[in-house]
Amino acid sequence: MFFSIIFQKNLNNTTERIIKRDSKMTKQKVGLAIFWLGIIWAILWGLVIGLIFVSPAFRNLTMDELSQTIWAIPGLWFFLWAFGVPLGALVAGIGILLYSGAKGSTVWKFGIGVALAIIIGMGAGHSLGHFPPLFGIGGALILLSFFGILWLWAKERMAMDDTSKTAADLKLVGYVFLLIAAWFVCGIAGLPFLKALEGLSASSPIHIMIFMALGWIFLFLSHYKSQKQ
């Protein structure tokens, strides 16, 4: 009887471990599928459709001519394109959280939180219009957050071993480029609302794209370096 009880207990424990392992593997597979779905959706709308169809239409057509196409503003196809990358990023984020074993509550908080932020942010832009004080407050928060990140980054780097410092340095470069990009985005975005600059022709924002691309590339290199250590 004693050995039978011990055997049954071990069997139950083994069964529980198998169920948990299978559940974790299923969660990872679902998460990976959702992650790739988000990536494909973002690439489809942001790169393929955006570069091949949307960008040429906006560059070469007048507003009246554009209104006669499927990309008319407002319109279903326009909104699918406009929110294609944000939606893809949200879905990919949910998928990668599931794949990494995050708790269900964490996944829900991330998904609902980001979705609400997008809705509130877009809604505020349409309902409030251009509100200079809010624009300035946002810029100040970005700048203060950046300096706070630098301080915390320095504290973390001082506690690192030499093998981890390269990844941290790459991350710092990424942060700096992203702040520079944000600064020039503010200039481009605010240009139409500055009376002193009325009539000034808009310059190409290619420099902003260069800074943003460099920022994201260096952040990627930082994570890649950390993962290889």
- The domain spans of the chain are 1-129, 130-229
74: left (phi > 0), else alpha (psi -120 to 50), else beta? beta
| Cα–Cα–Cα angle for 206, 210, 216, rounded to 5 degrees | 140
pLDDT per position in the chain (229 positions), as tens?
Answer: 554 555 455 545 555 555 556 566 788 899 999 999 999 999 999 999 999 999 999 889 888 888 899 998 888 999 999 999 999 999 999 999 999 988 889 999 999 999 999 998 888 877 777 778 888 898 999 999 999 999 999 999 999 888 889 999 999 999 999 999 999 998 888 777 777 777 777 778 899 999 999 999 999 999 999 887 6
Q: What is the pLDDT of residue 12?
A: 53
Return the SS3 of 160: coil
Q: What is the pLDDT of residue 110?
A: 95
Q: What is the pLDDT of residue 11?
A: 47
**Which residues have a Cβ under 8 Å from the Cβ of 142 and sit 6 or more positions away?**
179, 182
Closest alpha carbon to 193 in 131, 140, 125: 131
Q: What is the pLDDT of residue 205?
A: 87
Q: What is the pLDDT of residue 127?
A: 78
